[in-house]
Amino acid sequence: MNTARSGGVPHILHLHSTFAPGGKELRTVQLINAFGRKARHTIVSAEPERLGAADRIAKGIAVSLQPEFPSLKGRPTPGRLQKIAQAMQGYDLICTYNWGAMDAVMAHTLFKDLHGLAPLIHHEDGFDESELRKLKKRRTWYRRIALGKAAGLVVPSEKLEEIALVDWQQPIGRVKHIPNGIDTKAFAMRPKKDALRLIKHPGESWVGALAGLRTIKNLPRLVRVFSELPENWQLVIVGEGEGRDAIVAEADRLGLNHRVHLPGAIDDPARVIGLFDIFALSSDSEQFPLSVAEAMAAGLPVVAPAVGDIAGMVSEENSAFIAPQGDEEKLGASLVQLARDKDLRKTVGEANRAKAVAHFDEAKMIATYRRLYSSAMKREI
């Protein structure tokens, strides 16, 4: 049992499905770094071996990583949920993330009063492949019950806000729509030519993507639409994941392996995204992809399907290059049109940059989270 609630620096418990570098994990790191020494943190991952996002936490911040804690995976039996609730004792705030931590949310609702648990704020950033086409009824009902005593439910997209209110039947005062934010100044900096292990040669142009190499990102589709571009164009997909082999196989099938590059994951997207000439996604599902906001802040045009909030994120000038979901032909045509016209890329990119600065700067996001967490704890951070 933790013994932190003693009036000192507030102690926040973070329960994640995974803490590998990804959107929700890097946002957690963003907030931890912004709060600095005004809070201390304990981070638990349902996949204990996947903790790479912790490498980006600033030095000097008190963080306990993967302490002894009941597994977040398993059948939601009363005994197991009771053990999770007992392990959540003593903190000042409990933050849970996505379906992978939903048993902890249920444990909190069932045993909050018995064990005197701190307020809980749940964060939902999207769905895995199993709920891509349709929400699972069992999960929907489980969420409705589990979220019963949550102090807040944070979602980054309008689509998720609608799901939370309608499908999960959460009261309007509990649901908090907080768009993800980025350091827009950092993404405006000109990157070094050797920022990646891949060198951009004179005369080359790059289509770039930042994404976890997962099935739901459908990156073989991006390889296919890229195949229509001239030889001086290169496709650079930055990220890691189990979908790498499928991307390589599609590039081999199309004879593009000399123009499709997979340099792996990077620590700081702001150092490399400016090397791209066009940013592209081909996902089957997104909510509020941070990579799109980052590309906009770097002054890039964006080609992507109209999934999640993407169509509303980009500037009006960019809207024509967002394809209907599943329309591979339109996705390819958008890419070709931008590849042919450098001036058009510049115009669209400048409009995206202006919108990113106005709407997606991290200062607003951090201030909103700070107010939310402080209000839940009744303590300032």
Residue 232 pLDDT more than 70? yes
pTM assigned to the model: 0.80
Q: Are residues 234 and 199 in the same domain?
A: yes
How many other CB atoms sit within 10 Å of the CB of residue 127? 20
Residue 2 within a domain: no
Q: Are residues 220 and 131 in the same domain?
A: no
Residue 5 within a domain: no
DSSP states of 225-252 as a string?
Answer: HHTTS-TTEEEEEE--STTHHHHHHHHH
- Residue 7: what pLDDT? 61
Q: Are residues 311 and 341 in the same domain?
A: yes
Query: Confidence class of residue 4 from pLDDT cuts 50, 70 and 90?
Result: very low
Residue 211 within a domain: yes
- Residue 132: what pLDDT? 63
- Residue 176: what pLDDT? 97
Residue 133 within a domain: yes
- Residue 65: what pLDDT? 96
Q: How many domains does the chain have?
A: 2
Q: Kindly report the CATH number assigned to the domain that includes residue 341.
A: 3.40.50.2000
- Fill in the DSSP letter of residue 359: H
**Digit-coded pLDDT (tens) for 156-185:** 989 899 999 999 999 999 999 999 999 999
- Residue 23: what pLDDT? 81
Q: Tell me the mean pLDDT in the region 299-311.
A: 95
Owning domain of residue 100: 11-181+362-377
Residue 328 within a domain: yes
Q: Are residues 297 and 286 in the same domain?
A: yes
- Residue 210: what pLDDT? 92
- Fill in the DSSP letter of residue 182: B
Residue 3 within a domain: no
- Interatomic CA distance for residues 108 and 117, integer angstroms: 7
How many other CB atoms sit within 10 Å of the CB of residue 296? 30
Q: Are residues 282 and 370 in the same domain?
A: no
Residue 6 within a domain: no
Q: Tell me the mean pLDDT in the region 126-150.
A: 87
- Residue 129: what pLDDT? 66
Q: Are residues 231 and 117 in the same domain?
A: no
pLDDT over 70 percentage in the chain: 97
Q: Are residues 221 and 173 in the same domain?
A: no
- Residue 5: what pLDDT? 56
Residue 131 pLDDT more than 70? no
Query: Confidence class of residue 3 from pLDDT cuts 50, 70 and 90?
Result: very low
Q: What is the mean pLDDT of the chain?
A: 93
Name every residue whose Cβ is closer than 8 Å to that of residue 2 and which is 6 or more positions away in sequence.
11, 13, 42, 89, 90, 91
Q: Tell me the mean pLDDT in the region 203-207.
A: 96
**Digit-coded pLDDT (tens) for 252-278:** 999 999 999 999 888 788 989 999 999
Name every residue whose Cβ is closer than 8 Å to that of residue 49 and which is 6 or more positions away in sequence.
none
Residue 4 within a domain: no
Residue 135 pLDDT more than 90? no
How long is the chain? 381
- Residue 285: what pLDDT? 86
Q: Are residues 297 and 343 in the same domain?
A: yes
Q: Which among 317, 356, 333 is positioned nearest to 280, based on CA atoms?
A: 333
Q: Which among 193, 256, 247 is positioned nearest to 219, based on CA atoms?
A: 247
Q: Are residues 156 and 226 in the same domain?
A: no
Q: Are residues 371 and 352 in the same domain?
A: no
Q: Are residues 298 and 197 in the same domain?
A: yes
Q: Are residues 162 and 299 in the same domain?
A: no
**Digit-coded pLDDT (tens) for 338-357:** 999 999 999 999 999 999 99
User: What 3-state DSSP class applies to 189?
Assistant: coil
Q: In 56-119, at which residue ranges do the beta strands (DSSP E only) sit?
A: 63-65, 93-97
Residue 6 pLDDT more than 60? no
What tokens were used for 47?
């996949």
Residue 193 pLDDT more than 90? no
Name every residue whose Cβ is closer than 8 Å to that of residue 238 and which is 6 or more positions away in sequence.
196, 208, 209, 210, 211, 263, 264, 265, 266, 269, 272
Query: Confidence class of residue 212 from pLDDT cuts 50, 70 and 90?
Result: confident
Residue 288 pLDDT more than 90? no
Rounded to 5°, the CA angle 10-11-14 comes to: 135
CB 85 within 8 A of CB 111: yes
